[in-house]
Amino acid sequence: MTAAAAWLAALLLAVPVPARERACILARREAIAASADAAAAAHHVPVALLLSVAYLESHLGCAARSGGCWGAPISRTRRGVAGGADRAASALALGYRRCGQTDEGAVASFRWGLCRVPPGAHGYGPADVLRLAARVAARVTP
């Protein structure tokens, strides 16, 4: 079992995933795991961080209005076109490079384009991502 496949199995045990999104994740779990493993390796980002961000952003592309996006568009010039695992991993890798190689900085950069959480920010942030990653990691079986 790959790292991403183990993480997905643990997610479904550790977190109360809404029924519609759970069904979608289960139906697509092999494709989600394969694309997450490949993207994480290609961009040198932790697969657990990538999957945690993608889960909070769009339920791994399974949220009703996500269009299959993992939270990052395919390019700056085509912001309305959903990007998948590769685009999300690329955005996280950019955050690592820009923000001192920290998980917190990478997530803040992914979310807000800054290396820190801006004042008055709404929605999930680095602390939420790291909590989810730790919660799921506690359930991952070696």
For 103-134, write each residue's pLDDT tens digit: 999 999 988 889 999 998 888 999 999 999 99
In a domain, 114, yes or no: yes
Residue 44 lies in a domain: yes
Residue 85 lies in a domain: yes
Place of tokens 């945690």: 52
Q: With 90 as the cut, is the pLDDT of residue 26 above it?
A: yes
Residue 142 lies in a domain: no
What is the tally of structural domains in the chain? 1
The 8-class DSSP code of residue 78 comes to: G
Give the residue-averaged pLDDT of 20-42: 94
Report whether pLDDT(67) > 80: no
d(CA 100, CA 65): 33
Predicted pLDDT at 83 = 74
Q: What is the pTM of this model?
A: 0.89
Which pLDDT belongs to residue 81? 57
Q: Indicate whether 129 belongs to any domain.
A: yes
Q: What share of the chain in percent tops pLDDT 90?
A: 61
Q: Is residue 25 part of a domain?
A: yes
Whether 17 maps to a domain, the answer reads yes
Q: Which residues contact 5 (CB under 8 A, 6 or more apart)?
A: 29, 30, 33, 37
Q: Domain limits at 74?
A: 3-137
